[in-house]
Amino acid sequence: MRLADPGPAPAPEVVGQSDDHAESAARDLRTAGRNAVTLGTSLLLTWGVAFLVRFQLPRYLGPELFGAFNFADAFSAAFFALAELGVDMYIIREVTVRRKHASEFVGGVLVARLAAALALMGAMWVALSASGRPAIVQQAVLVFGVAQLAIINNNSLAALLQASTNVGRLAVANVLSKILWGVGLAVAIVLQASLPLLVLPLLISELVKTAMLLPVLRSAAGVRFRVDWAVTKLVLLASVPYFVNTGAVGVGARLTAAALEFVTDDKREVGWYGAAANLAGLALLLSPLISWVMMPLLARARERSEREAYAILRRALEVLVVLMVPATLFIVLAADDVVRLAFGQRFAEAAPSLRALAFDFIPMYVAIVASTMLILNKRHWEVTVISLAAIPVRVLAIGPLSALCGRWLGTGGVAVGAGITEVLGITLTAAVSLYLCGRQAVDRRAIVATIKSLAAAMVVVGIDRLLLSLGPVRLVIDMAAYAAIALAIRVVTFDDVRNLFSIIKAGRKGEVAAIVSHA
């Protein structure tokens, strides 16, 4: 992977790009870099809170009760994915270039979302009662439902700030709300709270985050909350393809965890899979950063030139793969040690399913970036169809795969089958999305970088097998070996790192031209 040298640049590849466009591209790149650093830092801090606090929950509850808790979370999230209404993607796409438009529809959308949430709460209650779920699980699902509504509203408020490039307060709100959630959850664990009460810290922290974001939207982004049903109706209609796609993605993302409750009689398997998903989810915590930064950056680039947007897309995909290969490698090699450290010996059987879920990382990030480009190219319904197609794949695959892996692998095998099901679903989404982006989305440079990264990973797997007797210490050697091999075969160079920071820091016109011309 080679970033362009930020020194004197050749003529831009984008034919006919004016000085004004180049200046605009430089400004967008600088803003995107600054926002990526700000939001990325906040996400890493929240990751730290999750690592220190949330992993105590499985230890406290044990596999069976944690399975019930994870089911309540997944079940409510799958339902409430429909309450998003597709508006967040509309906000990023439209408000990015028309900031005053936000005040025309935000108030109406929030009222419509509340009505949808009430209907969804009723539907959840009926489904849980009909399936005979215990009362304490039903109560936990309902509290999770209210928390999901707060989370969805906060995501929309965050999208408004991202579209207006005012993300400083958002980063602060992210960190403070997660600290509040972590402290509250720790207190609930110490007090030995029941399942519904364990959800309350999440709800309270999200409501506090809402209270922090609303004043910022009014003062920094100029958003005014009023209800204009005529405009709101038009926005909701325009958001239909986003709504269907977001609903499909949200349901699909939680479907595996929720469905596992119904396909196995061993509730420990649900807990083991939930624990593995918790750990794997930490590696995906930066996925919102991709949407927050890439959508506005690509949207503005697309306004200037399709060729420029594809140049950014190619380099983004290359960087993501190069970064995610060692992340996947580390999780695969360290799964046993990480699970024992995070959850204790009772969750040792979660390690194989964590290894399976590690292969989710690359296709997840690729799917996010590729679908973003398709949406900007106004191919919303194709993205929607892809997301919808992944749902029956999960539904049809989880039963046979869980049963098959359970027979082959014994205890913990059902959870592995669920992990493989999840990887199949997201890989299908990524592959088709990338294919629809066309040949412009991938070039020889990206392919070579991917092959080199995978080759380095395979060599390190062999090294790890030889060092098993060293225990966890071998992981340090493994990662050092990967870094050395990656540098030796020029997957990444020291110049790449230096140039990346120079581009983010300076954002000069020549640097943007260099990126485009070398893409």
Q: What is the pLDDT of residue 316?
A: 83
SS3 11: coil
- Which amino acid does the sequence have at 24? S
Which among 311, 299, 307, 242 is positioned nearest to 31, based on CA atoms? Answer: 299
Residue 109, both tokens: 């959308």
Cα(198)–Cα(470) distance, rounded to whole angstroms? 39
Cα(426)–Cα(365) distance, rounded to whole angstroms? 10
% of the chain at pLDDT higher than 90:
19
Q: What is the pLDDT of residues 25-73, one digit of tens each?
A: 555 555 545 545 555 555 555 555 555 566 677 877 888 888 888 888 8
SS3 14: coil
Contact at 8 Å (CB) between 327 and 455? no
- What band does 217 get if pLDDT is binned at 50, 70 and 90? confident
Question: Of 10-19, 160-169, 179-188, 380-389, where does mean pLDDT reach its minimum?
Answer: 10-19
Nearest 5 degrees, angle CA 372-CA 286-CA 363? 55
132 pLDDT more than 90? no
Which among 195, 426, 441 is positioned nearest to 315, based on CA atoms? Answer: 441
DSSP 78-121: HHHGGGGTTHHHHIIIIITT-GGGHHHHHHHHHHHHHHHHHHHH
% of the chain at pLDDT higher than 70:
76
- What band does 14 get if pLDDT is binned at 50, 70 and 90? very low
Identify the residue with better confidence: 378 or 18. 378
Q: What is the pLDDT of residue 509?
A: 40
Cα(470)–Cα(467) distance, rounded to whole angstroms? 6
Q: What is the pLDDT of residues 317-373, one digit of tens each?
A: 888 888 889 989 999 999 999 888 888 888 889 999 999 999 988 898 888 888 888
Cα(153)–Cα(401) distance, rounded to whole angstroms? 36
Average pLDDT, the chain: 78
Q: What is the pLDDT of residues 427-486, one digit of tens each?
A: 988 999 999 998 888 888 888 989 999 999 999 999 999 999 998 999 999 999 999 999
507 pLDDT more than 60? no
Q: What is the pLDDT of residue 353?
A: 93
Residue 511, both tokens: 């640097």
Q: What is the pLDDT of residue 359?
A: 92
Q: What is the pLDDT of residue 515?
A: 36
CA 320 distance to own-chain centroid: 13
Identify the residue with better confidence: 154 or 8. 154
Identify the residue with better confidence: 384 or 325. 325
Q: What is the pLDDT of residue 411?
A: 86
- Residue with structure tokens 């009926």? 126
